[in-house]
Amino acid sequence: MQQLIRGRVLSFYADPHDTQDNHRYFENGAVLIGDGRIQAVDDYAKLARPDLAEIDHRPHLILPGFIDTHIHFPQVQVIASWGAQLLDWLNTYTFPEESRFGQQGHAPAMADAFLNLLTDHGTTTAVAFCSVHPESAEALFSAAHARNMAMIAGKVMMDRNAPPEVLDTPRQGYDDSKALIDRWHGTGRQRYAITPRFAITSTPDQMEMTGQLAREHPDCHVQTHLSENLDEIEFTLGLYPQARDYLDIYETYGLLSDRLLLGHSIHLRPREIARMAETGSRAVFCPTSNLFLGSGLFDEAGLRAAGITSGIATDVGGGTSYSMLQTLNEGYKILQLRGQKLTPLSAFHWITRGNALALGMADQIGTLDPGSMADLVVLDSRATPAMALRMARAETLEQELFILQIMGDDRSIRQTYVAGRPMKPTG
Ligand code: GUN
Ligand code: ZN
């Protein structure tokens, strides 16, 4: 069945860093969807037909759904835990909480809550770390599959430096990951990400098994953490004394490729930057988390100049908001501190097409190109009295986008469509 979604429509076809000719905007536009996919985007008058069902979102903005390229599913009850930097935060709050995901019934309940939170915040695809327990990934994939929502996820592999309830072994981690890949990778819109948590929590034996999995499944993403915090880097290099630097550990086990997503990537050495660029490995900027945990300031312009593609992400529960708009807000401020700028067009490109490119999935998500899945977000730039007052002075689309980028959150999300289906109550 076809449907027409009416409103002001914006999507990107090029990176605003590269060219001024980067987006299409229809003031009186519409998106034609059918079978869960985008069929056309144009002026409303060109697409309207008497037989078509219509949903009218005027005067709101319709964009591709947001993509979050790094988030921790088992940290829904860790977000906003006080007072610690990375390693203490993991030991004090995070590992104990993640241990609950081995208990019967907990992961399925949390998976539904987690997906509701994502779509309430306008996010239609996420790349998620699950807990060590295969049940956690199983629960997330089943809930996402039931909604036809594209998730990229994996159970973390970790076999040291954490409580026994959240540890596996090299063999168990490999076998559980393999079984999840067989069951979920390519099932509907689900994709598997091979997930060694980070070098601190994996022995060399486990890293070896991770490399084997990555070789056996070259079309799976691999996700981990890199150089988030100075104490973390020091501890890591002590555990792998042969490594030339932190990235070298992942390199040694054959993980570097354009499918590798390296959360944080803040305190990098020149050799690491060069190798990431040569291998196409992705950096993932997590602004609210980097400020909350006091980790450091991501060098967006430096990595881009080196030829590295970066994603942007919430990193809940180190991150403090599920909102990609709030993520852009804090990202803007971090780049200010570095003397760099995040323009509104670059910002909205990043959380849609940019993140899709970072994932190698821009043919399916992140744009409104015909054939893409109909994952959409509908944004209200006047969602709060403060926004409405500020909007009264906005004269251009870019000014409006910047107000959303700085002041927006879940209150600005009027509707979220996943494969053409509204995720919030209608009417
Ligand atoms: N490094 C290893 N695990 C984690 C995690 O759960 N959150 C963050 N922010 N960094 C990590
Ligand atoms: Zn993380």
Distance separating alpha carbons of residues 43 and 201, to the nearest angstrom: 53
What's the 88 CA to ligand 2 centre distance in angstroms?
Answer: 14
- Check pLDDT > 80 for residue 396: yes
Nearest CA to ligand 1 atom 11: 225
Task: Label residue 201 by pLDDT band (50, 70, 90).
Answer: very high
* Per-residue pLDDT, 262: 99
Please check the confidence at residue 386 and state whether its pLDDT lies above 80.
yes
Ligand 1 contacts CB of residue 197 (under 6 A): yes
Task: Output the pLDDT for position 68.
Answer: 99
- Does ligand 1 lie within 6 Å of residue 190's CB atom? no
* Whether 228 contacts 86, CB under 8 Å: yes
Q: What pLDDT shows up at residue 47? A: 98
pLDDT over 90 (residue 387): yes
Q: How far apart are CA 402 and CA 359, in angstroms?
A: 25
- Say if CB 262 and CB 224 are below 8 A apart: yes
CA angle 314, 320, 126 (to 5 degrees): 25
Whether the CB of 72 sits within 6 Å of ligand 1: yes
Query: Quick check: CB of 315 below 6 Å from ligand 1?
Result: yes
pLDDT category of residue 292 using cuts at 50, 70 and 90: very high
pTM as predicted: 0.99
Q: Please answer whether residues 318 and 285 qualify as being in contact, where contact means their C-beta atoms are separated by less than 8 angstroms.
A: no
At 255 the pLDDT is 98
pLDDT of the residue at 132: 98
Residues in Cβ contact with 342 at an 8 Å cutoff, skipping those fewer than 6 apart: 300, 328, 331, 332, 335, 405
3-state class of 157 per DSSP? strand
- All domains of the chain in start order, with CATH: 2-64+367-422 (2.30.40.10), 66-322 (3.20.20.140)
Interatomic CA distance for residues 319 and 331, integer angstroms: 12
Per-residue pLDDT of 90-101, as tens digits, reads 999 999 999 999
The residue contributing the CA closest to ligand 1 atom 1 is 225
Q: Confirm or reject: Cβ of 289 under 6 Å from ligand 1.
A: yes
Q: Which residue has a Cα nearest atom 3 of ligand 1?
A: 197
Handedness of CA 16, 21, 23, 28 (dihedral sign): positive
Instruction: Give the model's pLDDT for residue 1.
Output: 87
Q: Is the pLDDT of residue 427 over 90?
A: no
Q: Is the beta carbon of 412 within 6 A of some atom in ligand 1?
A: no
Ligand 1 nearest atom to the CA of residue 129, by list position: 6
Q: What are residue 32's phi and psi, to 5 degrees?
A: -95, 120
**ipTM for the predicted complex:** 0.99
Mean pLDDT, residues 189-203: 99
Which is the closest atom of ligand 1 to the Cα of 317? Answer: 7
Q: What is the mean pLDDT of residues 290-318?
A: 98
Partnered with residue 310 across adjacent β-strands are 283
Q: Whose CA is nearest to atom 8 of ligand 1?
A: 318
Confidence of residue 316 (pLDDT cuts 50, 70, 90): very high
Partners of residue 43 on adjacent β-strands: 29
Planar angle of CA 151, 152, 154, nearest 5 degrees: 120
Tens-digit pLDDT profile for residues 122-132: 999 999 999 99
| Residues sharing a CB contact under 8 Å with residue 82, sequence separation 6 or more, in sequence order | none
Give the tens place of pLDDT for each residue, 330-364.
999 999 999 999 999 999 999 999 999 999 999 99
**For position 88, what pLDDT does the model report?**
97
Taking the centre of ligand 2 as the mean of its atom positions, its distance from the CA of residue 393, in whole angstroms, is 38
Q: Which ligand is nearest to the CA of 292?
A: 1
Contact by Cβ (8 Å): 169, 208: no
Residue 319 is given by DSSP the state: B
**CA 44 to ligand 1 centroid distance, Å:** 45
Burial label, 334 (beta-carbon count in 10 A; 0-12, 13-18, 19+): buried
* pLDDT score, position 345: 98
Give residue 228 CA to ligand 1 midpoint distance, Å.
Answer: 8
Q: What is the 3-state secondary structure (H, E, C) of 337-400?
A: HCCCCCCHHHHHHHHHHHHHHHCCCCCCCCCCCCCCECCEEEECCCCCHHHHHHHCCCCCHHHH
| Distance (Å) from CA 369 to ligand 1 centroid | 35
Report the pLDDT averaged over residues 41-57. Answer: 97
Residues 6+ apart with CB under 8 A from 416: 65, 119, 120, 122, 123, 124, 376, 377, 378, 422, 423, 424
The residue whose CA is least distant from atom 9 of ligand 1 is 318
> From the alpha carbon of 295, which atom of ligand 1 is closest?
9
207-265 pLDDT, tens digit each: 999 999 999 999 999 999 999 999 999 999 999 999 999 999 999 999 999 999 999 99
Query: Strand order of the sheet with strand 151-157?
Result: 66-72, 123-130, 151-157, 191-196, 221-226, 260-264, 282-285, 310-312
Q: Whole-number mean pLDDT of the chain?
A: 98
Output the CA torsion sign for 57, 61, 65, 66: negative
Asked if residue 94 has its Cβ within 6 Å of ligand 1, the reply is yes
Residue 20 has pLDDT above 80, yes or no: yes
Our mutation pick for probing the ligand 1 site, out of 132, 223, 228, 285, counting the most ligand atoms within 8 A of Cβ, is 228
Rounded Cα distance between 260 and 177, Å, is: 16
For residues 369-393, average pLDDT? 98
Query: Of 6, 1, 4, which is closest to residue 378 (Cα–Cα)?
Result: 6
Nearest of 36, 33, 80 to residue 52 by alpha carbon: 33
Cα–Cα dist 258/265, whole Å: 15
Best residue for ligand 1 mutational test, from 70, 73, 99, 198 (most atoms within 8 Å of Cβ) = 198
